[in-house]
Amino acid sequence: MKANKKTGMFKDARAQVGIGTLIIFIAMVLIATVAASVIIQTSGILQQQAQSTGKQATQEVSSNLVVKHIEGIRAKNNATDMADAISLLKIRVGLNVGSSPVDLNQLIVSVTDGTNTNDLLYANNDRIYDYSMSNFSSDATAAIANLGALLKDTQATPGDNAKYFFTVQKIRDEDTSFSQNSPIMNTGDIAIIYVSAVSGSDLSFTTIGEVNTAGGQKDSTLDIEPRTTVTIVLTPEFGATTMATFLAPSSYGTRETVQLYP
């Protein structure tokens, strides 16, 4: 026999109604909205920072200069009368595969012979000293003329060009991105960086490479005699620093051009 069931409502059952509940609900919605806004804003800032950091990191790892080889040129009066030390460094450089473009106008070349160190800027860089190298020419065919100005000219400040600047000559530039005024290197480009190493007795010779100096070359303070250890550091605007160290041969013999690196 089924038990009788009784159904009904409790007379004391109540629900929250009125303006108080509405205020609490609105407050909760506002809090959730503010929290969501803060989270979205923070996420946007973090995303922008991550993209910026990623771009900078990509530039740092993908912009690499490579030193192909380094030659030394001895000053001379004739084929049998040459300087005892290297008077000019020809640093042949290129870029790693996949490298981002490199602006040599922002490159710093540091050269040390173990005693003296020169930190060199590109001849057309006017952003540090507020002026470029004296007698610099932006003409497309002016590479050798600029080399002559590097070796022979001076200015009141900072002083001899040979001690403060370097010049560049393009060897391969298929996309014509490289000029004396704007030396931009892309993958596949090859260029020669000229660094003066004239000092001491080298100052009296009449010819250095393709330049007739007539004994008017300026002192770079570098002294690269036989058995000298030389370190060259290339620091671009972006990307990894490139270093090349070599020990000069024990004798230069009768050679005007000496292979120094590798």
Q: Residue 112: which of 203, 2, 14, 224 has the closest Cα?
A: 224
Cβ count within 10 A of residue 191: 23
What is the average per-residue pLDDT within 185-203? 93
pLDDT for the residue 16: 54
Q: How confident is the model at residue 87 (pLDDT cuts 50, 70, 90)?
A: very high
Cβ count within 10 A of residue 96: 16
Q: Say how far apart CA 242 and CA 232 lie, in whole Å.
A: 8
Q: Say how far apart CA 183 and CA 61 lie, in whole Å.
A: 21
Q: Does 27 have pLDDT greater than 50?
A: yes
Q: Say how far apart CA 106 and CA 238 lie, in whole Å.
A: 9
Q: 255: helix, coil or strand?
A: coil
Q: How confident is the model at residue 240 (pLDDT cuts 50, 70, 90)?
A: confident
User: 160: which 2 tokens?
Assistant: 């001899």
Q: Say how far apart CA 141 and CA 75 lie, in whole Å.
A: 23
Q: 196: helix, coil or strand?
A: strand
pLDDT digits (tens, 9 = 90+) for 37-73: 888 877 777 766 665 555 444 444 445 899 999 999 9
Q: Is the pTM of this model over 0.85?
A: no
* Selected residue with higher pLDDT from 87 and 54: 87
Q: Does 217 have pLDDT greater than 90?
A: yes
